[in-house]
Amino acid sequence: MILLRTDGSRESINLRVLDADEAPSGAAWEAVGLDHPALAEAESPTGLTLANDVNVETLDCDPQRFAFILLDFPAFTDGRAYSQARVLSEQLGYQGTLVAGGELLQDQAHYLKRCGFNAFALADAEAADRLAQGFNDFTAAYQATSRHELPVYRRRRA
């Protein structure tokens, strides 16, 4: 699997979502779900994966514990994870690697980036190339959404 970052860099990773009876090995790209017993332990697994119907505003674990959080797009037309990403990065101040997985098309790349995703899990290098092409579809936007933008009405008066 290829991990593409918003800066264009990419690395080959072994992204694994552990079953509930599988103990974390401490490897870099292991994620557990909310039902995994390791969540109750002091030593955090590396990553957390959330289904897109989870309300991240009421998570009972601290997202900062995880080096990465993997959010899912079961279909590119299912936009729930955009809201999850914004709440995690803007309201809960999540600073780690926010990974988008599932069906990701280059036409969503700029939306994904602006909602706070900074990494994308893709099947192969070709898919990563395509997605990266979409990062710069837009150089301007109206809304303040990602971590450092201002809304248009502030920029106009700046």
Partner 1 sequence: MYQYDAIDQTIVDERVRQFRDQTQRFLRGELTEDQYRPLRLQNGLYIQRFAPMLRVAIPYGVLSTTQVRMLAHIARTYDRGYGHFTTRQNIQYNWPKLESVPDILEDLASVEMHAIQTSGNCIRNTTSDQYAGVASDELEDPRAYCEIIRQWSSLHPEFAYLPRKFKIAVTASKTDRAAIRVHDIGLHLIENDHGERGFAVYVGGGLGRTPVIGVKIRDFLAPTDLLSYLEAILRVYNRLGRRDNKYKARIKILVRESGAERFTDWVEAEWAKIRTGSLELGVDDIQQMQAYFEPPAYAATEDSAEIDTQAAQNPAFGRWLKHNVIAHKQAGYRIVTVSLKDPNEAPGDCTAEQMERVADLADEYGFGEVRTTHEQNLILPDVPHAALFNVWSALDELGLATANHGTISDMIACPGLDFCSLANAGSIGVAREINDLFADLDEQYDLGEIKLKMSGCMNGCGHHSVGHIGILGVDKKGEEWYQIMLGGSAAEDATLGQRLGASVSKHDIAPAVRKIVDRYAELREGEELFVDTVNRLGIAPFREAVYG
Which residue ranges make up the site for partner 1 (CB under 8 A)?
Answer: 55, 57, 76-80, 82-83, 86-87, 90-91, 105, 107-108, 110-112, 114-115, 137-145, 150-157
Cα–Cα distance measured from residue 57 to residue 61, given in angstroms and rounded to the nearest whole number: 11
Cα–Cα distance measured from residue 32 to residue 68, given in angstroms and rounded to the nearest whole number: 11
20 or 155: CB nearest partner 1: 155
19 or 57: CB nearest partner 1: 57
CB of 144 to partner 1, least distance (A): 4
Q: How far is CA 111 from CA 28, 104, 117, 125, in A?
A: 27, 11, 9, 21
Cα–Cα distance measured from residue 106 to residue 92, given in angstroms and rounded to the nearest whole number: 27
60 or 153: CB nearest partner 1: 153
CB of 4 to partner 1, least distance (A): 18
